[in-house]
Structure 1
């Protein structure tokens, strides 16, 4: 009996040691020791304080794990912004609001505060350490590009990437952070499915497009196998006039003004393209990464439509009780969530919801408006109430993303631990 008791104790000790070894290995894998070798690349003359990184910051508290980080309010953040148009070269000209004379700066000094917990401000060192040796792709429209450029600027306090794009086409870019072996990819696909121009002008002078609602856009669907994380988005391009195809045949159009054509709402196409995009991802046998659906970010035109003098001149965020997600914005958001849930239920790939809609609904103050070019410049540009100033509210998407990557690491750790415990039983 004593021998059996000793053997049992030895077996229990062995199990504990094995679990401890896995714990140490996983923690080092997902929460590596920070490296400060890139600090020298930061220009101290920028006036922006370099980021700091503490290994303990990586931990997710129980409150944060249970918290809905996407429900909350914007609160003042006097420490912002974390870069300027003078310290970051990645800002698209039309979103470079301070360069082109925007007179107020308060829109850069807010951060998102969830109702039930605190969401740490993005830490570039921490992010780069957690994605060391990995890759992230942005797939979608110019708001997706807006997000990628925000990320490049936020990470510029640590390191600037080098251009490793396989093509000179600006619609398909790759940027590499050499010190971390981390790569960004950008794939231009504003409709997410195969599309083409039918008329460069069209009835609304924004072009007339052919959308093949059930056909993959292989410019991105064949490329994602190389990526650990993929962020997809689509939205504002669906307001444009288009002819819709399914099974190789025209099924209708949106405001195309062509004879004998059924007029269909944009929501018809919107639902089908997300269904097709998720089908493409679920069908990629070699894609083992995580797909984030970044939800629709509403525009904020007031006193007219985008082509009828509408503008966005507010200088502070809304409170959550001052506006509602309604009408077309609500319809588009619900379509995204419903198709996302349907794809998730197939349990073939990892899908996560980067639910930025409510937060961005509350930021009518964050758009370029007319501050995307010089006032006397001879250009035909409408007030931009779709994209986001850099620096600006879109920088908070990085706060969300880092939190979600931490959560992903936590899930992976728990899965590995559970698998090991089952093997030891």
Structure 2
């Protein structure tokens, strides 16, 4: 009797358990059906999308002090070029490592060539009133899928190109990328995306006797002021073009060649360099106006960057320069002699005219933000392509490079700005 009663209790408990599981299953199935119905409604998709974007934005903001998910109106309501340098205590900078970038150039690899103070790698640019979107290599590569991005200009523009290659390098599997150098054209290919990120050496934009990327340090600088077609054939099909040209114009006068460099009877005329610069930019802008596809091509002109060769400008002795500098200039609005306001006005005028003709062109005004970074140059920590003289060796300041920039470093921020405009403008 006791055994029968006990069996009845067990079976009764089992029935209750089965009924409970059945009702639970019905409830779960109903919930799933309701969720699926909601998912297929537009409103619910938008709610879910907003939720995950907000979650990602919050996460990125906490870890990097600036955001990845960006309001597309950001660039129209915030001046990304006005701000200050902030030391990154969250250790989210640098965005790559000197020795880990497979395509680093030795004249920019300061850590590799003995620089011990690495604080220059850990500063980030903080615009006033907004945050700079963090560099997203995958998103940029996706935007560049099947396209060609070309940097055109001088060695500072090459500096920015190497930075861009290193920023993208770690996001591309090893077999799916390569670099190829062919005279003035340097090509980096991300084969998975069929994307090409190139640099074309053309320091004066128009034809000159300095167009050889290896042999260009000539005493007399000569230009064909109206000739650009030879260069344009190399970058005319690009989807994104990033130009710069200023460093090689900073001399009193240039020689303007009438005719070609191949002509046996060459005739020159000496012209004021600033006037010559204006004429060269007119040739450049006329070519763009005539040949650029207005519906497809994004154009950028990178403004001049600072040289820090005169330490008295930031309160140091006259015989010093950027060597041994370890911190940015903190005085907001600082300007040194490395920038030429008249050249800036010429650039701004040329860009304004192109915009009025319907071209998508933006000046990346990196001049002020670069002025602060006296600590960011290679100085003596780089490969020297020519043997140093006894005089240079006796005083390292004589050969310190205060024009180009260590990588990782300041040019990465130039590319964060470029990335923001390519993706969001």
TM-score by length of 2: 0.70
Shift, 1:290, TM fit:
1.1
Does residue 198 of structure 2 align to residue 188 of structure 1? no
- Mapping for residues 13-412 of structure 1, pairs under 5 Å: 57-60=68-71, 62-78=73-89, 79=91, 80-159=93-172, 162-163=177-178, 165=180, 169-196=182-209, 206-219=218-231, 221-239=232-250, 243-245=254-256, 248=259, 264-284=271-291, 288-302=296-310, 311-313=321-323, 314-321=325-332, 323-324=334-335, 329-347=340-358, 349-373=359-383, 378-379=387-388, 382-408=399-425
* Residue 37 of structure 1: aligned partner: none
The 2-side partners of 1:327 and 1:85 are apart by 27
* Alignment deviations for residues 123-151 of structure 1 (CA, whole Å, 9 cap, x no partner): 21222122222220110011111111101
* Residue 418 of structure 1: aligned partner: none
The 1-side partners of 2:384 and 2:154 are apart by 25
Indicate conservation of the 8 Å contact 2:306/2:338, yes or no.
no
Shift, 1:59, TM fit:
3.5
Say if 1:83 and 1:282 are closer, same or farther in 2 by CA, change over 3 A: same
Shift, 1:67, TM fit:
0.4
Indicate conservation of the 8 Å contact 2:256/2:270, yes or no.
no
Greater Rg by CA: 2
Please state which structure has a larger fraction of its residues in helix: 2
Indicate conservation of the 8 Å contact 1:229/1:291, yes or no.
yes
The 2-side partners of 1:81 and 1:282 are apart by 38
The 2-side partners of 1:322 and 1:145 are apart by 27
Shift, 1:108, TM fit:
0.6
SS at match of 1:126: helix
Indicate conservation of the 8 Å contact 1:367/1:388, yes or no.
yes
Indicate conservation of the 8 Å contact 2:154/2:202, yes or no.
yes
Shift, 1:261, TM fit:
8.8
Provide structure 2 residue ranges, at least 5 long, that are not aligned to the other structure.
1-41, 50-62, 212-216, 261-266, 393-398
Count of residue pairs brought into register by the alignment: 339
SS at match of 1:214: coil
The 2-side partners of 1:197 and 1:224 are apart by 18
Shift, 1:243, TM fit:
3.6
The 1-side partners of 2:222 and 2:312 are apart by 28
Deviates more, 1:73-82 or 1:318-327: 318-327
Indicate conservation of the 8 Å contact 2:149/2:196, yes or no.
yes
Say if 1:342 and 1:103 are closer, same or farther in 2 by CA, change over 3 A: same
* Alignment deviations for residues 332-388 of structure 1 (CA, whole Å, 9 cap, x no partner): 2222112211222222x221111111111111111101111379x943583211111
Say if 1:372 and 1:292 are closer, same or farther in 2 by CA, change over 3 A: same
Indicate conservation of the 8 Å contact 1:232/1:293, yes or no.
yes
The 1-side partners of 2:110 and 2:321 are apart by 15
Say if 1:374 and 1:285 are closer, same or farther in 2 by CA, change over 3 A: closer
Shift, 1:162, TM fit:
3.2
Shift, 1:232, TM fit:
0.5
Indicate conservation of the 8 Å contact 1:65/1:407, yes or no.
no
The 2-side partners of 1:62 and 1:232 are apart by 25
The 2-side partners of 1:374 and 1:272 are apart by 35
Shift, 1:329, TM fit:
2.2
